[in-house]
Amino acid sequence: MPTWQFETHLNPNQTVTIPPEVANQLTPEATVHVVLMTGDPDEDADWQRLATEQFFRGYAPGDDIYDQLPAG
- Whether 64 maps to a domain, the answer reads no
Domain count within the chain: 1
Note whether residue 46 is domain-resident. Answer: yes
Could you report the per-residue pLDDT of 5-21, keeping only the tens digit for each? 888 989 999 999 999 99
Look at residue 67 and tell me if it is in a domain. no
In-domain check, residue 47: yes
Question: What range defines the domain where residue 29 resides?
Answer: 1-59
Residue 69 lies in a domain: no
Q: Is the pTM of this model over 0.85?
A: no
9-58 tens-digit pLDDT: 899 999 999 999 999 999 989 999 988 888 776 777 888 888 888 888 87
Residue 11 located in a structural domain: yes
Any domain includes 54: yes
What SS3 string covers the chain?
CCCCCCCCCECCCCCECCCHHHHCCCCCCCCCCCCCCCCCHHHHHHHHHHHHHHHHHCCCHHHHHHHHCCCC
